[in-house]
Structures are given as C-alpha cells and as structure tokens.
Amino acid sequence: MNYIDDRKKFKLQMEQNSFKLGKSKINLKKSIEILTRFDRNYYSYIWSWLGIPIIQQPSEILVNQEIIFNYKPDVVIETGVARGGSVIFYSSILNLFKKKFKVIGIDIDLRDHNRKAIFNHKMSKNIKIFDGSSIDIKIFKKIKKLCKNKKVIVILDSDHSKKHVLEELNLYSKLVKKNGYIVVADTILGFLNKKQTPKKVSKVLYRGNEPYAALKEFLKNNKNFVIDKKLNGKLLISQNFSGYIKKIK
Ligand SMILES: C[S@@+](CC[C@H](N)C(=O)[O-])C[C@H]1O[C@@H](n2cnc3c(N)ncnc32)[C@H](O)[C@@H]1O
C-alpha cells in the first residue's frame, strides 16, 4: 500500500471508530456516570491554554483544533469568553497557518483582569472583544459586517438557557457557510437526570431548558445543518454531546 492510500485508510478507520463509539448507548451512560463524578471536582475548570484558563475539556480542545485546521476559517466567533483561554487557543491555532484571521469574542461580563490577561498575551493581536449580550442586535450587526464573505466557525458558550441558545443559533447560523461549523457547548445538560444535574444550575437549567433542547429545535427547522456524527462520536468525555453541527448545504 502506498503512502497516500495508507493515510486515506487510516482516516477512514478514525472516522468509523469515532462513529461507532458515539452509537453505543452504553458508552453514553458510562460517560455520564464518569463526568458527573469528575464534575464534583470541577473537571472543566482545571485546564489552561498557553497560560490562560480555558473552561473546556481536553477532548473538546482537540476537536476544536481539528475543525479549525480542516475548515481553515477566516473568523472564529465565540459567545462567552470568561477567562480568555479559549480565544487565545483559537488565535494561536489559526496563527500557525493563516496570516489574516480574526477571533471575535462576545461577553456580557468580561472582568478587567481577564481582559488584561488576554490583551497582554502574545496571541492577542487578532482578537476582538465585544462587550454585551451575544444576542444584542447592534453587536450582531457589527459582527456580521466583519464576517462578510468570510469562512466562519461559531462556538456558543454563553448563557445556556434554551431561549438564549436558540436565539444565538438563529442569528449566528446566518454567518456560517457550507462546510462550516457551529459548536453548541454544554449540551450535556439535556442528557442528565435531576440527580446528575449540578446543583449550581439545576434550578434554572434542566432538561428542556438547556442548550440541547435549543439545538434540537433549531435542527428541526434548519435542514441545512446536521449533527456531525463522525466528529461527535469520539467526544465521550465532553460536555458537548452532539454539539458539533455542520452546514451541509
Ligand atoms: C462557560 S463561560 C465561557 C467559557 C469560555 N468559552 C472558555 O472556553 O473558556 C460563560 C461566559 O458567558 C458569559 N455570558 C453569560 N451570558 C451572556 C450573554 N447573554 N452574552 C454574552 N456572554 C454571556 C459569562 O459572562 C461567562 O464569561
């Protein structure tokens, strides 16, 4: 087998194994058990990227790298910046293979020390932050202008209520072109029972009022987006079950 055929075969095997991992109901059940156990020690809050805390799990960071490298967007938009590790991450990956790009972050409550940490970082040159709500139409219009004729990936990680995520999906999906992605974070909340739902959120966010409920409703009405099962399958130690959707037409 020559080099090219071997690479193709390996890629196919990767996708098939990922798909199969995601098909198993037992895998999902086991993942939820492990994740609810890990969450007691704030498993999503213990990682950093190039020195800045990133509130994502390792598998999500790796898969975000995959979609960014494979799709090569001109713009990555993230709603919900928090401590800034994620915007630094997108910027540092894009910086490896693009001269011109933008990382746009929107946050309603970006703390001063976090802003300083972001903009003092070597990788901040192409980052633009909008202060306010991600569904504020004035902010969205400015972002839309920046995205004209650009390849865009969107990560939704701000207010996790169904209404908010659905509004974000309806707005930001307009910026995504064929083969582009939207990542809906924290869909795991739609898979947990009451006992498994973290106490800090369970009064507000519970099955029916969370990102996965928004995602399902969005997909019902937007057949040009689908859950990428080859990608989501391997995201078993993740908060974003079925959260990676791809625009297919
Ligand atoms: C889970 S954190 C984001 C984590 C970040 N994406 C990362 O990977 O490190 C959620 C952030 O969303 C912000 N947020 C909450 N509601 C928002 C809204 N309506 N619009 C924009 N940002 C919002 C919060 O201030 C908080 O910083």
Task: Return the ∠ at Cα 74 (arms to 242 and 105), rounded to 5°.
Answer: 65
Among protein residues, the one whose CA lies closest to atom 22 of ligand 1: 107
Tokens representing 150 are 């650009």
- Residue 196, pLDDT > 90, answer no
How far is ligand 1, taken at its centre, from the CA of residue 92, in Å?
20
- Whole-number average pLDDT of the chain: 96
Buried b (16+ CB within 10 A) or exposed e, 157-168: bbbbbbebbbbb
- Residue 51, pLDDT > 90, answer yes
How far is ligand 1, taken at its centre, from the CA of residue 4, in Å?
42
* Atom of ligand 1 minimally distant from the CA of 85: 9
Residue pointed to by tokens 């908060």: 239
Q: Quick one: average pLDDT of 153-169?
A: 98
Phi, psi at 63, each rounded to 5°: -70, -35
- Domain 3-247: give its CATH superfamily: Vaccinia Virus protein VP39 (3.40.50.150)
What's the pTM? 0.97
How far is ligand 1, taken at its centre, from the CA of residue 140, in Å?
16
Q: Quick one: average pLDDT of 62-83?
A: 98
Tokens representing 65 are 């790298």
- Residue 45, pLDDT > 90, answer yes
How far is ligand 1, taken at its centre, from the CA of residue 80, in Å?
3
Predicted confidence band of residue 199 (pLDDT cuts 50, 70, 90) = confident
CA count, 13 A, side-chain hemisphere, 25: 0
Higher pLDDT, 208 or 85: 85
DSSP state of 194: T
- Residue 197, pLDDT > 90, answer no
Supply the pLDDT for residue 7: 93
Write the Ramachandran bin of 208: left for phi over 0, alpha for psi from -120 to 50, otherwise beta. Answer: left
How far is ligand 1, taken at its centre, from the CA of residue 21, in Å?
30
Phi, psi at 93, each rounded to 5°: -70, -45
Question: Where does ligand 1 bind, in terms of residues with CB under 6 Å?
Answer: 54-56, 78-83, 85-86, 106-109, 133-134, 157-159, 164
Report whether 70 contacts 97 (CB < 8 A).
no
> 226 in helix, strand or coil?
strand
Burial class of residue 242 in the structure, from the number of CB atoms within 10 Å of its CB (0-12 exposed, 13-18 middle, 19+ buried): buried
How do residues 208-221 score in pLDDT, each as one tens digit? 899 999 999 999 99
Name the residue type at position 51: G
Determine the residue of 127, 153, 157 to mutate for testing ligand 1's pocket, defined as the one with the most ligand atoms within 8 A of the Cβ atom. 157
